[in-house]
Structure 1
Amino acid sequence: MEKLLKNMKTQCIGRYLIDIPASFTVNRTPSDFVSNTWDADISGDHEYNKTYIVTQRMYFPAFVQLIQRREKQLNETITINPKNMPFKKNKFVLTDGLEGVIFERNENESTDDAIVILEAYLYNNGVAIKLQTQSINDSAPRYEAERGSDLPRNNVPRDVEKIKSLLARVSGRNESEKPTKPGNCIPDAFISENSIKNEKENVSIILTSDEMKNINLTISSDNFTREKNGVLDRVDEIAEVIKQSKGRIERKDSFKRNDLYAEELLAVGLQQSKDEPRYQFDLYINETTTSYKNPNLILTLSNEGKPAPAYDKEGLIAFWDSITRTIRLRK
């Protein structure tokens, strides 16, 4: 454990920085990019539709091929109801120095095209960035009966401009880069802060290490979820659930570090399916005081459903204490 903790690196996640062993990397596969396994989402303060985001580092020729394959797939998709054809409604090529495209398409083959999906691709600094959001266009005459007395809506032009504005604030970055301007770190990319400052930001990642097998670190952060009570206020209820799951609370604590108030619960026990050690350590920051400039953060260490890790309880607690006390807001 001492050797592992000597080689540390700083990770930027959301608006936070955390020092962790250099062997830990974001756990995902290339298929996550095409299968819509999202890294983050963002939305305006009063918007019901979220814009989902995922990234993948790749060479530019591979990005061009990706776009070509996707457009061919969209062009060849047939809807169940012919009235909803074509499946791909529009293609908007990015301009103003942005490299990429936005596709307007049906939600799927069976849904009516009053609801459409805007699927955007951007290439920046060696990173492909994919965005997806929902929009509405019920202006076709065949939706008149459904609209009733409501006016027809075509939000697509407005939402395309919103996507373009967001893409202009997204830049690819290396994992070691720590941006100095206000904004939100997601894997392989950075979203600079909106001047209106009313966006809801949400990011969640899983980190794994070949040097610390069978342990997941999950880090999530958002700037809009505020709990009425902290985790230590709910500890009795949580302890009962843990007890029923063959576990116990090893440590419950609160501390202040780097001007941040944190509460933690460290639970140990046995796996549900076999009598092997199970660990779940949880840390909560700004759980009851979440705001735009002070987002919450939840860090979880877990080996649920995995074989026993190479480190014992004391080693894992030492690791936990070493990384959790480094968390700070990026100024």
Structure 2
Amino acid sequence: MTKQSIYNKKYYALIAVVLAIILVSGYNYFHKDIRHMTLSKEQQEQVTALLQNSPTRCIGTYLIDLPAVFKADDTMDFNYRNRTVKINTYPQYLPPFKQMIALREQELKNTKPVNPINGNYLKAIYPLYSDDPEKIQGIIFEHMESIGTPDVARILEGYRWQDEVTLKIEIKARNGIASRYDDDREDYPKLYANNVPQKLTDMSKLFGRIKTRDDLAIPTTPGFCFLRGFMQGEDREWKDMNYGYLHNSIENFSFYFKFNDYADDYALLDKPESYFTSNRGHTIYKGTRSSEYLKLEEWIVKGKYFLDEKGFDTDDMGYLFTLGIHMTDPTYKTPQLRLEMYYKIPKDGTQGYSEDQLMVIWHEITNSIKIRESSFEPE
């Protein structure tokens, strides 16, 4: 064998070793195992400082330990009973509540239907009875669904103030007893009936079932939690709610929860990558793991997912962590839960959390998710 042949063999062997190292390193980088992340001592201390004070929060019928620095956002989207009922809560002192109710009443009185035949837009006002108006008070407005639709379609818009929290409930109703609907009522008796009395009873029952609560108060009786509230009693009605928690000092570091009873067509990991990246990033990890008898699906991407104050896309880089539980097979005892964590990389790269730290933070927080067993009546 010539010296040249020996040299060529050594050369190609060296190239093969280098390529293998590159491939292994690349695989390890792009296929990080979120279950086995190792941090430096300083990085671990930063993570521990964030996680060491993580009180339990109640989301629907689930519990999760979330760092105390994350505070509940003011807004919530909660649809109930196949979207015929909308529920919302927000913090409010009594004087602003009274002012808000007065302004809302005047606004409804001033609103005029497009067709004058519909009469007044505001149809009726029903006060909520209270033994102690200084602790609990409220009102229900009955008005047209919109200025352009016939007044057979109604909305019951109810408010109750208690413990510095305003609870708002909206229920769709119908009242077609006006004589101009006589012919329509013969053809469609259900659509042109008057179910306002029944819907008022339904609203009264909901106000009775819903109790305000502090975000850190964990119920011990059957029912389900939502933002600043708890609906008492085991509940198998259709529901869909989502709300978030924002870091109290780090901009664009947040968690968003979506809790509902309906099944997706695809499992989280069966969705196309573009569903998560929006063609503005790339996947850094996806996989499944088990915790607290739950199967967790997760997909983590890095890219440009942040908007400016006007709602336009920016070039700011960050991470979007997504987790799904019972995405395709929810039941009333094991509802679907979807959790997202957003984190925007600071302008100063030496500040904030690294990618590995974020993965450890995500892993530790999501590993705490479990069902609140007392959510359900004993079988």
TM (norm. structure 2) is: 0.75
Unmatched 5+ stretches in structure 2:
1-45, 307-312, 374-379
Of 365, 375, 379, the match for 1:323: 365
Of 203, 210, 218, the match for 1:178: 218
Structure 1 residues 73-222: aligned runs within 5 Å: 73-95=107-129, 99-147=137-185, 149-151=187-189, 152-194=192-234, 197-222=235-260
Q: 1:305 Cα shift?
A: 11
Once the two structures are overlaid, the 10-residue window that deviates more, 138-147 or 18-27, is: 138-147
Matched position secondary structure for 1:62: helix
Of 38, 59, 64, the match for 1:18: 64
Q: Across the two proteins, how many residue pairs are aligned to each other?
A: 313
- Aligned position for 1:227: 264
Q: 1:8 Cα shift?
A: 1.5
Q: 1:66 Cα shift?
A: 2.2
Of 55, 68, 73, the match for 1:9: 55
Q: 1:201 Cα shift?
A: 2.1
- Which has more helix, going by share of residues? 2
In 1, Cα distance between equivalents of 2:201 and 2:184? 27
- Aligned position for 1:35: none
Q: 1:326 Cα shift?
A: 0.7
Q: 1:162 Cα shift?
A: 0.7
In 2, Cα distance between equivalents of 1:135 and 1:241? 37
Q: Deviations over 1:152-191 (max 9, x none)?
A: 4111111111111111001111111011112121111111
Matched position secondary structure for 1:27: strand
Q: 1:72 Cα shift?
A: 2.2
Q: Judging changes above 3 Å, is the alpha-carbon distance between structure 1 residues 123 and 306 closer, same or farther for their aligned structure 2 residues?
A: farther
Q: 1:204 Cα shift?
A: 0.3
Query: Quick check: 1:310 aligned with 2:352?
Result: yes
Aligned amino acid, residue 229 of structure 2? A
- Aligned position for 2:376: none
Does the Cα contact within 8 Å between 1:137 and 1:155 map onto a contact in 2?
Answer: yes
Q: Judging changes above 3 Å, is the alpha-carbon distance between structure 1 residues 270 and 112 closer, same or farther for their aligned structure 2 residues?
A: closer
Matched position secondary structure for 2:55: strand
- Identity across the alignment (%): 29
In 2, Cα distance between equivalents of 1:241 and 1:101? 43
Q: 1:53 Cα shift?
A: 1.0
Does the Cα contact within 8 Å between 1:41 and 1:202 map onto a contact in 2?
Answer: yes
Does the Cα contact within 8 Å between 1:39 and 1:187 map onto a contact in 2?
Answer: no
Q: Which entry has the higher C-alpha Rg, 1 or 2? A: 2
Q: Judging changes above 3 Å, is the alpha-carbon distance between structure 1 residues 232 and 110 closer, same or farther for their aligned structure 2 residues?
A: closer
Q: Judging changes above 3 Å, is the alpha-carbon distance between structure 1 residues 305 and 77 closer, same or farther for their aligned structure 2 residues?
A: farther
Does the Cα contact within 8 Å between 2:185 and 2:193 map onto a contact in 1?
Answer: no
Query: Quick check: 1:285 aligned with 2:331?
Result: no
Does the Cα contact within 8 Å between 1:136 and 1:154 map onto a contact in 2?
Answer: yes
Does the Cα contact within 8 Å between 2:321 and 2:340 map onto a contact in 1?
Answer: yes
Aligned Cα RMSD in Å? 2.5
In 2, Cα distance between equivalents of 1:262 and 1:66? 43
Matched position secondary structure for 1:159: helix
Query: Quick check: 1:59 aligned with 2:93?
Result: yes
